[in-house]
Amino acid sequence: KIEPFYLSLLINGHKLSNCIIDSGASNNVMPAKVTHALGLTLTKPFGRCYSLETKQVPLIGQIKDA
C-alpha cells in the first residue's frame, strides 16, 4: 500500500499544512471560504460540476495565475 503524500504550501503568505497535490489533475477544487481567506481573486462564475454524490454543485469562479 502506498501512503498519501502530503505537502505544506505557502500561498499569498499563508501556510497550509497537509495538502494533497494531484499534478495529473486538469482541475483542482478549493472551498470558497479557503479561497477568500487566502486573499485569492476569483473570475466570474461559470457553470456547475457534479459531486461524488452526483448532485450539482455551483462553481463560483476560477483562480487564474497572475
User: Is a pLDDT exceeding 70 seen at residue 19?
Assistant: yes
Task: Report the SS3 class of residue 34.
Answer: helix
Question: Grid coordinates in use for 54?
Answer: 452526483
Q: pLDDT > 70: what percent of the chain?
A: 62
Q: How far apart are CA 44 and CA 7, in angstroms?
A: 30
Domain boundaries along the sequence of the chain: 6-58
* pLDDT at residue number 26: 65
Nearest 5°: CA angle at 45, between 41 and 51?
Answer: 105
How large is the average pLDDT for residues 27-41?
80
Q: Are 42 and 35 in contact (CB under 8 A)?
A: yes
User: Is a pLDDT exceeding 60 seen at residue 66?
Assistant: no
What predicted TM-score, i.e. pTM, was given to this entire model?
0.51
How large is the average pLDDT for residues 37-50?
75
User: Is a pLDDT exceeding 80 seen at residue 11?
Assistant: yes
